[in-house]
Amino acid sequence: MCLSSGMGGMRCELKVEVKRKEVVAAVLPLQEHWLPLSNLDLLLPALDVGVFFCYKKPPTSMTMPMPMPMACTMMMMTTKAAGSHHHEFASMVNVLKKSLAQALVPYYLFAGELVPNSAGEPELLCNNRGVDFIEAYADVDLCHIDLHNPDATVEGKLVPDKHSGVFSVQATELRCGGIVVGCKFDHRIADAYSTNMFLVAWSEIARLKSTSLIPCLRRSLLNPTRPLRYDPSIDDMYVPLSKLPPPPPAEDVDDDDDLMISRIYYVTAKDIEWLQSQASSSPNQAAEKNKQARVL
């Protein structure tokens, strides 16, 4: 349902209907084993991070490009000729689930779950528990989703809440025929860089390509010490909450000093390629490229 806003535009009350839930496990069996968390992950609180990708309706009977913007990749999904959006959506979801089951073979930790060990500390149980995969429908067009305020319009609606496991996925069909793929992962298992490696591998498998990045899962390099020991210098890096000064009274806070600015940036693949070339060049080469970029 679309409601008129005070600025003469349109905003939509986003309602999402869950159609189906299932668990997607790795296509090959896995010998059950445990992986410890690093000391830093044991210190930090549990944190789930969400990411979502929006795609327009693909042309019928053509391959559907699904870019993973963090890595500038293209996930190509073949859709068959169909007389309805739903048939196309079902075909795309089928590719997503099959390629996900294959990607979970080398990236099997995303199919595990966090459970307490004998010392009460969380550890990753690699048991191929699988990934919760949700199929949903939202009666809204892609162009009417308020992406400027994703916490209100996307979180918990197009990006799923993670109730179990360490990774969850939701594919949402839109009224216009577009699709939103939302993912939620446990930050204790993988940071943004590592999760992006997994998303790139998933997209490559969906395009029937071999994976370009193979993960290193030698967690023994980060085994926590027992009993837990740390260098005294760590004390200088963190401050206990009890030592922080109390916040000022609400009546003393100026509203103008407590503003949060939200911005959306459009970054093309060419821009990211240029940034990557700058980061991988020597200082002299980077300076010369920067000079050429300014001339152009």
The pLDDT score that the predictor gives to residue 95 is: 95
Put simply, whether the predicted model's pTM sits higher than 0.75 gets the answer no
pLDDT tens, the chain, 296 aa long: 333 333 334 455 688 999 999 999 999 998 999 888 887 788 878 889 999 999 988 776 444 444 444 433 333 333 333 345 667 889 899 999 999 999 999 999 999 999 998 888 899 999 999 999 999 999 999 988 888 878 778 888 999 999 999 999 999 999 999 999 999 999 999 988 899 999 999 999 999 998 888 888 776 666 666 666 777 777 777 777 778 788 777 666 666 655 667 777 888 989 988 988 888 766 566 555 544 443 33
The pLDDT score that the predictor gives to residue 260 is: 67
Concatenated DSSP letters of the chain: -EEE-TTSSEEE---EEEEEEEEE--SS----EEEEPPHHHHHSPP-EEEEEEEEPPPPTTSEEEEEETTTTEEEEEE----SSHHHHHHHHHHHHHHHHHHHTTTTGGGG-EEEE-TTS-EEEEES---EEEEEEEESS-GGGS-TTSHHHHTBTTTB----SSSEEEEEEEETTS-EEEEEEEETTT--HHHHHHHHHHHHHHHTT---S------GGGGPPPSS----GGGGGT---GGGSPPPPPGGG--GGGS----------HHHHHHHHHHHTS-HHHHHHHHHHHHH-
CB-based contacts of 192-199 (< 8 A; 24+ apart in sequence): 192/49, 192/70, 195/49, 195/51, 196/68, 196/70, 196/71, 197/107, 198/103, 198/107, 198/110, 199/51, 199/68, 199/70, 199/71
The pLDDT score that the predictor gives to residue 239 is: 74
Q: Could you tell me if 104 and 111 are in contact, meaning their C-beta atoms sit under 8 angstroms apart?
A: yes
Work out the widest C-alpha separation in the chain, in whole angstroms.
67
d(CA 197, CA 203): 10
